[in-house]
Amino acid sequence: MTTGALDGVRIVDLTQMLAGPFCTMLLADQGAEIIKVEPLDGDHTRIVGPYHADDKLKAFGGYFASVNRNKKSIAIDLKQPEGRELVMRLCENADAVVENYRGGVMDRLGLGYETLHERFPKLVYATIRGFGDWRTGRSPYTDWPAYDVVAQAFGGVMAITGPDKDTPMKVGPGIGDLMPATMCAVGIVSAILRAHKTGKGQFVDVGMVDAILSMCERIVHQHSFTGGVPVPEGNHHPLLCPFGMFPAKDGHVTIAAHADTHFPILCRLIGRPEMGTDPRLATVQDRRANQDEIIAAVSAFTSQRTKQELLAHLGGQVPFAPVNDVRDVFANPHFAARDMVVSVPHPGLDGEMKVAGVAIKMSETPGRVRHRAPLLGEHTDEYLTGLGLSGADIARLRAEKIVA
């Protein structure tokens, strides 16, 4: 079996909830060895669910299963000195350590960047915090806690999302976690590559609100270039037309035929070829200035047809997609061909459950979902034995509730 591109890379994962685990999941999917160090009662998302109705074990639900696949679990009490020393020893042969505690927590435990960097100069130390870490730029909000909804609001995405200009709205997926997680994964791989060249690790820091602002890059140039303040635009684009969502008989579809090449084609396909040659609609700017007329014409056509009828008529001719719900995703041949809905075994169930697949495709070292998320402490013995501890040593640590 082909190994992943990050085969041989070892990451000590001290993260929990969504941002940190999604970051290390991305690395695990590409072959990195992820040692998930959990508290004795486990990552708190283990109990979030959802659980399958037939799951009698309830070791973890779908939330945990989705973003902790391909990882190994060791349970250690970091509040105990012997537990912290075990983490230190795990870091000895690691390429990186990742954590998403509030700033100062790891420093108080004696596991902060400076301590680990002094002991292991090649180690990369990565963090995801709401407002970043003081080491890379002290925000007045450095010590504030944050979750997805906080990052979405503070970073600017809510202010440009919503049904109308007066109604900001949260984006459905937890992008306030997922975007910083993805950026942190890029930072970790970059820093590891540098460390392998120079022998020197470094501190990698991603602020959740910074990542959201980076994702909302257009609001910065819009305000800087025009002085305007972007607001929610509903389901259409503030600069391009037609570019947005349109009604169908049985739901909605999206069309992005704003370009000079696609607009005349769309006009022909909706039975309005004269619009494609109308001098009032000749340029991108013209079409944006007359967007109400264009949206009305396109909507009149789409609203009389089903999503599948529109797919057959418009698909491949202009940029087009039906608005899929998860049932559509499960049934669509694209996601099957791209291995984007993957079956994994689940403890407590005879059958398998589905998780999202690996979006980063590589020809020589394809990433994949190799194994299910781990049970709490499933690999404790494996790693402690690897550190040279005997069975009696491990039994004592368990009895003293230092590991589980």
The pLDDT tens digits of the residues spanning 275-290 come to 999 999 999 999 999 9
Average of pLDDT values for 178-192? 98
Could you name the CATH architecture of 10-215+338-399?
3-Layer(aba) Sandwich (3.40)
Q: Tell me which DSSP letter residue 340 carries.
A: -
Which tokens hold the place of 93? 């042969």
Angle (nearest 5°) at CA 280 between 278 and 282:
70
Q: What global pTM score does this model have?
A: 0.95
Residues 6+ apart with CB under 8 A from 293: none
Is it the case that residue 2 has pLDDT exceeding 90?
A: no
Q: How confident is the model at residue 221 (pLDDT cuts 50, 70, 90)?
A: very high
Our CA dihedral for 192, 197, 199, 200, rounded to 10 degrees, sits at -60
* Helix, strand and coil percent figures for the chain, each rounded to 5: 40, 15, 45
Domain boundaries of the chain, sorted by first residue: 10-215+338-399, 243-331
The answer to whether the CB of 212 falls within 8 A of the CB of 152 is: yes
Q: If you classify domain 243-331 with CATH, what class do you get? A: alpha beta
Which tokens hold the place of 122? 């090649």
Q: What is the pLDDT of residue 1?
A: 62
Residues 6+ apart with CB under 8 A from 21: 13, 15, 36, 43, 45, 67, 68, 181
Q: Identify residue 292 by its one-letter amino acid code.
A: D
The answer to whether the CB of 30 falls within 8 A of the CB of 2 is: no
Cα dihedral across residues 6, 11, 13, 19: positive or negative: negative
Residues acting as catalytic residues = 177
Is it the case that residue 315 has pLDDT exceeding 90?
A: yes
Which tokens hold the place of 352? 């398998």
- The DSSP element (H or E) to which 390 belongs, if any, is none
Number of residues that make up the chain: 404
Is it the case that residue 269 has pLDDT exceeding 70?
A: yes
Per-residue pLDDT tens over the stretch 60-104: 999 999 999 999 999 999 999 999 999 999 999 999 999 999 999
